[in-house]
């Protein structure tokens, strides 16, 4: 049988560009060369798409790869049919499936997913809706609340609101929440732009920092507790991994603590009771379904000290695949290795990309008489 041509898309125009490169390198190394012809596709910080050869390091793809024509030429699409992704040169590869290994805006937020839908290329991960709502921490939390899931108190702040009426914003936050607080860009991950705020003097700089990354900021009530994570895989029904625990080497699990602090460590599985583990796994699946995610996600929690209550923090629709990322670690502890994990994701994408023609595409007369 011919090998499947798998496009691995990485990089992108977000603050998580470097994390995506490391994730992509791990994925490229883990894909079975006997089963797949891997086509690395890098997106530069400026949004240029570059096509590389299988086996190239992600950084080399971004600087040396051939340019992609985006959007595809209409004549080429008409002649070749989907998938429509092609290069500027002759003999361009046709792609069977895409693995988006992108983190943050312009990749994890539904934008690339929408393009792939238009190009009719099967791809792994959440669709346009699930990607968008899982990226936006404000909308995500609203959906969690609608589903009756345990979400901590928080306040949404718009950048324009902050720039025009900063003192009123501070008063409003202090009326609804108490210190310590966490201030975050609403649409970013990897703890980029996040600050822990202990008192009023730290609040304004934290909001200003977060507003540099996004037009919407989320201010969350700090919860004193342990940080737990759970991975979800599949669709009908989705499966939850064993929970893991994050032990931050700093006051909280910020960007440096995640990727450069040797004092940070993970415990997989998490040393929690069977009751807590089952509660986390059940909530992870409910969060996955509430946000219309599919194929994969990582769900983050707090286990509150003193009360033992499990609080849902957020969901990540395209979690990291770096060598230290929790998503592959959690599944490895649950019996699914890295290469098998990728095989399953490719399988999910192909199943969904080639469904029977069950949806009507033209209006019909009502069947009700």
Judgement on whether residues 95 and 15 belong to the same structural domain of the protein? yes
Judgement on whether residues 65 and 116 belong to the same structural domain of the protein? yes
In a domain, 355, yes or no: no
pLDDT > 50? residue 78 = no
Percent of the chain with pLDDT over 70: 82
pLDDT in tens, 197-237: 999 999 999 999 999 888 999 999 999 999 999 999 999 89
Average pLDDT over residues 143-149: 97
Pairwise CA distance, residues 358 & 96, whole Å: 22
In a domain, 144, yes or no: no
pLDDT in tens, 37-75: 998 998 888 888 888 866 667 777 777 777 664 444 434
pLDDT score of 248: 78
Q: Give the pLDDT band (50/70/90) at residue 302.
A: very high
Judgement on whether residues 271 and 319 belong to the same structural domain of the protein? yes
pLDDT > 60? residue 86 = no
Average pLDDT over residues 326-341: 96
Judgement on whether residues 65 and 26 belong to the same structural domain of the protein? yes
Judgement on whether residues 96 and 112 belong to the same structural domain of the protein? yes
Q: Could you tell me which residues come within 8 angstroms of residue 235 by beta carbon, excluding any fewer than 6 positions away?
A: 294, 295, 348
Pairwise CA distance, residues 178 & 186, whole Å: 20
In a domain, 257, yes or no: yes
pLDDT score of 176: 95
Decide: 179 and 198 in contact? Cβ < 8 Å: yes
pLDDT > 80? residue 91 = no
Q: Give the pLDDT band (50/70/90) at residue 367.
A: low
The string of DSSP codes covering 38-103 is EEEEEE-TTS-EEE--TT--HHHHHHHSEEB-SSPPHHHHHHH-S----BSSSSPPPPSEEEEE--
| Orientation angle between helical segments 338-353 and 17-30, nearest 10 degrees | 100
Higher pLDDT, 156 or 257: 156
In a domain, 328, yes or no: yes
Judgement on whether residues 239 and 172 belong to the same structural domain of the protein? no
Model-level pTM? 0.85
Judgement on whether residues 293 and 325 belong to the same structural domain of the protein? yes
Judgement on whether residues 235 and 202 belong to the same structural domain of the protein? no
Decide: 153 and 180 in contact? Cβ < 8 Å: no
Report which DSSP code applies to 151. Answer: B
pLDDT in tens, 12-32: 888 788 889 999 999 999 999
The total number of structural domains that make up the chain? 3
In a domain, 82, yes or no: yes
CATH number at residue 293: 3.30.470.20
Q: Which of 123, 141, 162 lies at the terminal end of a domain, its last residue?
A: 123
The string of DSSP codes covering 241-295 is ---EEEE-SSSS--HHHHHT-TT-EEESS-S--HHHHHHHHHHHHHHHHHTT--E
Q: Where are the beta strands (DSSP E) in 159-200?
A: 181-185, 195-197
Number of H helices, E strands in the chain: 13, 15
Average pLDDT over residues 250-278: 74
Decide: 272 and 228 in contact? Cβ < 8 Å: yes
Judgement on whether residues 241 and 265 belong to the same structural domain of the protein? yes
Average pLDDT over residues 186-191: 71
pLDDT score of 258: 47
Decide: 173 and 237 in contact? Cβ < 8 Å: no
Structural domain including 79 reads 4-123
pLDDT > 60? residue 256 = no
Q: Which of 170, 196, 221 lies at the terminal end of a domain, its last residue?
A: 221
Average pLDDT over residues 283-290: 98
* Torsion (CA) 54, 56, 62, 63 in degrees, nearest 10: -130
CATH number at residue 188: 3.30.1490.20
Judgement on whether residues 102 and 203 belong to the same structural domain of the protein? no
In a domain, 145, yes or no: no
């Amino acid at each position: 049988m011919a090998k499947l041509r798998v496009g691995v898309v990485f990089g992108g125009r977000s603050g998580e560009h470097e994390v995506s490169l490391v994730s992509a390198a791990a994925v490229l190394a883990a894909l079975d060369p006997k089963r797949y012809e891997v086509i690395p596709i890098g997106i530069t910080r400026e949004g240029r798409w570059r096509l590389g050869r299988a086996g190239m390091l992600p950084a080399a793809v971004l600087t040396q790869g051939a340019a992609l024509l985006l959007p595809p030429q209409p004549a080429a699409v008409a002649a070749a049919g989907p998938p429509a992704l092609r290069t500027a040169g002759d003999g361009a590869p046709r792609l069977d499936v895409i693995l988006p290994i992108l983190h943050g805006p312009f990749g994890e937020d539904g934008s690339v997913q929408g393009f792939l839908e238009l190009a009719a290329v099967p791809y792994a991960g959440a669709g346009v809706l699930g990607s968008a709502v899982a990226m936006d921490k404000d909308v995500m939390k609203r959906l969690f609340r609608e589903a009756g899931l345990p979400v901590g108190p928080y306040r949404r702040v718009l950048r324009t609101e902050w720039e025009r009426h900063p003192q009123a914003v501070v008063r409003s936050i202090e009326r609804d929440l108490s210190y310590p607080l966490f201030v975050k860009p609403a649409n970013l991950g990897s703890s980029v732009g996040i600050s822990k705020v202990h008192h009023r003097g730290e609040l304004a700089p934290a909001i200003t920092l977060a507003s540099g990354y996004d037009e919407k900021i989320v201010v969350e009530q700090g919860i004193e507790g342990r940080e737990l994570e759970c991975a979800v895989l599949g669709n009908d029904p989705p499966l939850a991994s064993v929970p893991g625990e994050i032990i931050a080497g700093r006051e909280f699990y910020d960007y440096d603590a995640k990727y450069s602090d040797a004092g940070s460590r993970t415990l997989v599985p998490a040393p929690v009771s069977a009751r807590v583990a089952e509660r986390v796994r059940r909530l992870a699946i409910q969060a996955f379904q509430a946000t219309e995610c599919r194929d994969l996600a990582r769900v983050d929690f707090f286990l509150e000290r003193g009360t033992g209550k499990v609080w849902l923090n957020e969901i990540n629709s395209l979690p990291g695949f770096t060598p230290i990322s929790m998503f592959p670690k959690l599944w490895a502890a649950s019996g699914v290795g890295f290469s098998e994990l990728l095989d399953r994701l490719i399988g999910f994408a192909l199943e969904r990309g080639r469904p029977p023609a069950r949806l009507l595409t033209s209006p019909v007369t009502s069947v009700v008489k």
